[in-house]
Amino acid sequence: RSLFRGTPRHRCPGAAPGVRPPETLSMKPGIQRVEALDAGRLVCVEWEDGSESRYPCVWLRDNCQCPHCFLHSARARKLLFEDLDVNIVAKDVALPDRRKISITWPDEHTSEYEAEWLKKRCFSEEARAEMRKDLFLPERQYWGSDLQLPKIPFEEIMLNDESAYKWLCTLKKVGIVLLTGAATRQGELVKLGNRIGFLRLTFYGPTWQVQDKADANNVAYTTGKLCFHTDYPVLQHPPGRC
């Protein structure tokens, strides 16, 4: 959760449009200077390369990483909304060393934030784009006449986590993957579904057997071919894969 949805001002000098600054989020960043702005409502971090990042104090207090406010084993906040002052300001900011900052709040609670943690959560467009890339895998491969249909053996996915991860990433990027070598018996799709999550219950039940029927009331119950399609699109918005 986050109480701050806006985009604070920040500058990254020397960065050409569409080009990320020289520092990358994977490098160990160093802090040159830190100061409170806007009557203590913002904290400005100046990095060693001269760029700046600004963080709202309410966001920083909400994301305090101390054991009292954050459960590191679960990577979850312990601080309750009812205990968060949305108008909070920093009483004091300090730079103990170039790898972290320290903030003292009006109630004398102290929060420390590692430089690498702050850099990864910078509100700059570059950092936010990198975060979206890491979390949502936005890369897409559009189909053309040169499309080579990705193929992965069924058993590899069932037995190997790396193969299962590769399958899911490829499915998200390309939109289609042919699984080869599956047994021709009932239950294989159930095994595949259970490999990655729980089967979703629908008005058909957990699964549905599609077979040829006389006087079929659906083209799926015939021996003819079916075009690519998405089942149950009305059950998810926006439509995804089922």
Residue 27 has a pLDDT of 66
CATH classification for the domain delimited by 31-134, as one of 3.40.50.720, 3.20.20.80, 3.30.2020.30, 3.40.50.300: 3.30.2020.30
Question: Which of 154-163, 177-186, 198-207, 233-242 has the weakest average pLDDT?
Answer: 233-242
Mean pLDDT of 69-73: 96
The pLDDT tens digits for 84-111 are: 999 999 999 999 999 999 999 999 999 9
Q: What is the mean pLDDT of residues 9-37?
A: 60
pLDDT value of residue 2:
37
Identify the band that residue 4 occupies on the pLDDT scale cut at 50, 70 and 90. very low
Query: Is this structure's pTM higher than 0.85?
Result: no
What pLDDT score does 25 carry?
A: 44
pLDDT at 237: 63
Give pLDDT tens digits for 132-174.
888 887 888 999 999 999 999 999 999 999 999 999 999 999 9
Q: How confident is the model at residue 241 (pLDDT cuts 50, 70, 90)?
A: low
Q: Partners of 102 in the beta sheet? A: 94, 112
For the chain, domain boundaries: 31-134, 151-235
